[in-house]
């Protein structure tokens, strides 16, 4: 049964530009007077901006739909329209049953009110009836784990308690359709696990889940169907794996290879110039995207223009946030004029999922940098897991499997 059908939804925003923002009264009045002086020759430039363009799809009962797309793709606009915060410019949406949206947990919490008072306030805001709140009150308090602080104003709560209480209320709404946006970005690992468990329960009990997150692992783990939005348009709708593959193919600023045939155009200087640099997955890897289990090989070739040069290369691997994960180099050797090749093997099950980039430095006489080729390679590594139920973000800069943990029973009682 279709619980949600979205037909040709578009949303237009009008961007005003007068060379200056016009959102106070003074600017509007000066705008009018300017209009009078210019006798109608308005200097306004009105620009239409379509946040969503003819998006249509249907969600069946019990589906767990993951909505993916880059920032500004229209995901939030779509959720806002679904939760009726803003109206669509054209098109219509049919919803069967009650829908609850968790665009942000703890919406409408008042800092001065106690946890108890806020449960009733927030419940009412989310559309719960009073008797429903009474019925679930103990479960909510228990889920959030704040029994002791229930009569304390929430302004004295820690941020974790605040979020837990917010999520607990929403999780007990029992809506037919639950819309969740980036809730997993907050809370500790234990709470995330509880939240994901709760969302699984929602879908297992035949209710429908709409989930938006930038955490692809969580989307993949929770959802069975997906919709990929790009610049307001629906690019792909279907099984979650296909949608995620399509999304990753589109967004990653992959630069797995750079090559130059003409030394005059190649980056470098009078001593050395880069010829090729590339990152290739090991032949044994068969899945379409690079993931955490993929062994990688970095290959580089450069021109050396100096006779009897003592050179070595130094490789820097950075995480997306700019932290250097490692820096390794080779033994310095004497090279003649011509080309030099270096290869670095990065084993599988070593890097964590995320975006990485590589810079390469060529060093002379073991100490003097000759040329630093920055951001030579950029790549994304997707998550790959076996034998674990946990779908939250795996912490850490690296995820080395070669450092094993062994456990055994020491005593029987």
Q: Map tokens 């050395």 to a residue.
A: 272
Among 47, 58, 60, 85, binds another protein (CB under 8 A): 85
Based on the shown chain and the rule CB under 8 A, indicate whether residue 24 belongs to the binding site for another protein.
Answer: yes
Q: Which is nearer to another protein, 115 or 392 (CB)?
A: 115
Whether 38 and 32 have beta carbons less than 8 Å apart is answered as no
Residue 120 or 305: the one with the smaller Cβ distance to another protein is 120
The C-alpha atoms of residue 245 and residue 267 are separated, in whole angstroms, by 33
Residue 238 interacts with another protein (CB under 8 A): yes or no:
no
User: Site map for another protein, 247-286, x if CB under 8 A?
Assistant: ----------------------------------------
DSSP-assigned letter for residue 355: E
Q: Is 91 in the site for another protein (CB under 8 A)?
A: yes
The interaxial angle of helices 115-125 and 159-171, nearest 10 deg, is 40
To another protein, the closest distance from the beta carbon of 156 in angstroms equals: 12
Does residue 124 belong to the site contacting another protein (CB under 8 A)?
Answer: yes
Give min distance, CB of 50 to another protein, in A: 14
User: How crowded is residue 160: how many other Cβ atoms within 10 Å of its Cβ?
Assistant: 14
Q: Which of 262, 291, 256 is nearest to 275 (CA)?
A: 262
**The 99-102 sheet, strands edge to edge:** 99-102, 177-181, 208-212, 64-68, 225-230, 233-239
Query: Does 20 interact with another protein (rule: CB under 8 A)?
Result: no
Out of 52, 101, 167, 272, the only residue in the binding site for another protein (CB under 8 A) is: 101
3-state secondary structure of 327: strand
Name 387's Cβ contacts closer than 8 Å, sequence gap at least 6.
none
The 8-class DSSP code of residue 198 comes to H
* Ranges within 162-181 binding another protein (CB under 8 A): 176
Selected binder of another protein within 19, 20, 23, 48 (CB under 8 A):
23
Among 34, 98, 198, 297, binds another protein (CB under 8 A): 98
150 contributes a contact to another protein by CB under 8 A: no
Sign of CA dihedral 152, 156, 162, 164: negative
Residue 96 lies near another protein (rule: CB under 8 A): yes
Residues contacting another protein: total by CB under 8 A: 44
Choose between 78 and 344: whose C-beta lies nearer to another protein: 78
17 binds another protein (CB under 8 A): no
């Amino acid at each position: 049964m279709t619980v949600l059908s979205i037909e040709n939804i578009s949303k237009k925003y009008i961007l005003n530009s007068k060379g200056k923002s016009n959102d106070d009264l003074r600017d509007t009045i000066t705008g009018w007077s300017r209009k009078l002086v210019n006798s109608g020759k308005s200097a306004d430039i009105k620009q239409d901006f379509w946040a969503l363009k003819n998006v249509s799809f249907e969600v069946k009962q019990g589906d767990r739909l993951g909505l993916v797309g880059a920032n500004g793709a229209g995901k939030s606009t779509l959720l806002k329209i679904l939760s009726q915060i803003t109206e669509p410019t054209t098109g219509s949406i049919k919803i069967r049953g009650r829908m609850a949206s968790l665009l942000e947990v703890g919406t409408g919490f008042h800092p001065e009110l106690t946890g108890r008072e806020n449960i009733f306030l927030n419940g009412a805001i989310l559309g719960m009836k009073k008797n429903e709140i009474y019925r679930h009150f103990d479960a909510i308090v228990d889920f959030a784990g704040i029994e002791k602080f229930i009569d304390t104003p929430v302004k004295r709560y820690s941020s974790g308690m605040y979020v837990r209480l917010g999520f607990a209320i929403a999780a007990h709404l029992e809506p037919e359709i639950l819309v969740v946006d980036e809730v997993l970005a907050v809370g500790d690992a234990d709470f995330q696990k509880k939240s994901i468990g709760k969302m699984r329960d929602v879908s297992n009990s035949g209710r429908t889940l709409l989930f938006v997150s930038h955490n692809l692992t969580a989307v993949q783990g929770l959802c069975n169907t997906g919709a990929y939005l790009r610049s307001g348009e629906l690019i792909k709708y279907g099984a979650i794996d296909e949608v995620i593959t399509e999304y990753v193919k589109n967004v990653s600023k992959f630069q797995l290879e750079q090559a130059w045939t003409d030394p005059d155009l190649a980056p470098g200087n009078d001593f050395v110039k880069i010829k090729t640099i590339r990152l290739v997955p090991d032949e044994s890897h068969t899945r379409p995207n690079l993931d955490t289990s993929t062994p990688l090989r970095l290959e580089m070739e450069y021109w050396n223009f100096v006779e009897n040069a003592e050179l070595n290369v130094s490789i820097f691997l950075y995480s997306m946030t700019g932290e250097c994960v490692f820096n390794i180099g080779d033994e310095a050797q004497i090279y003649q004029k011509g080309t030099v090749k270096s290869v670095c093997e990065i084993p599988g099950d070593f890097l964590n999922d995320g975006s990485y980039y590589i810079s390469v430095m060529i060093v002379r006489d073991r100490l003097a940098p000759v040329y630093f080729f920055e951001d030579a390679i950029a790549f994304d590594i997707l998550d790959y897991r076996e034998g674990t139920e946990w779908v939250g973000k795996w912490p850490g800069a690296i995820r080395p499997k070669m450092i094993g943990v062994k456990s055994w029973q020491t005593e029987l009682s």
